[in-house]
Homo-oligomer: A and B are copies of this chain.
Amino acid sequence: METKVLIVDDHRLFREGLKNLLQKSDDINVVGEAENGMQAIEKSKALKPDVILMDIVMPEMNGIHSAQHILRENPHAKVIGLTMHNEKYFIKEMLKSGVYGYLFKDCSYTQLIDAIESVQKGKKYLSSETTNVVVSDYVNGLSSNSNDKNHLSEREEEVFKLLVNGYTISEISNMLFVSVKTIGTHKKNIMKKLGLKNMTELIKYALKNELITLT
């Protein structure tokens, strides 16, 4: 039976190229395309694809949130994360969301076909790089506890967002009606929890995790 595939990526040329490649296979039918996470949810509802190839960094809505929505409404869909980022955060969030596969865009066509066939049969498929990341976290006992250990509190999250948006400690203390000392403490704790040394690292962290964008 033919596998119905939905391609989600914000770059038209990439979608068109990929579609063309996949159509060469008799077992695969590209039933639709979406250029962001929002569209992916709609198309997925309308077209009921078997496999969804999902980019992560996209405008409007990213692939992580999109996958979560889609899998809540249709738990039988198999989502494959298809991204250029070897970021631990992305991999973890996607796997937590219940996706079945994770590949990088520099994989080969045959690898992609393999992945699609595997997830279609209900087998998980991770690229070797992804497997490495997952395994190294697993053996280091970082599988789930650490994520909670360095999880920011609500207040810290609030301060974090303001910090990476360029507000100073004193500006933030005025906004939140507390002492500059308090915000200073929050900042210190945030840095400690996230293992960051300076503002540069803080902002890089925020960018990697898509809390701010390079606008």
Contact = CB atoms under 8 A, between A and B. Distances in A.
Nearest to A203: B203
A206 B51 CA distance: 38
Interface size class of A (residues with CB under 8 A): 35 or more
A176 interface: no
Interface in A34-70: 35
A142 interface: no
Contacts of A13: 14, 18, 82, 105-109, 112
A16 interface: yes
Number of copies: 2
A114 to B, nearest CB: 13
A10 B106 contact: yes
Interface string A95-130: 000000000111111001000000000000000000
B200 A106 contact: no
Interface of A: 10-14, 16-18, 20-21, 24, 35, 82, 84, 104-109, 112, 163-166, 168, 197-201, 203-204, 207-208, 212, 214-215
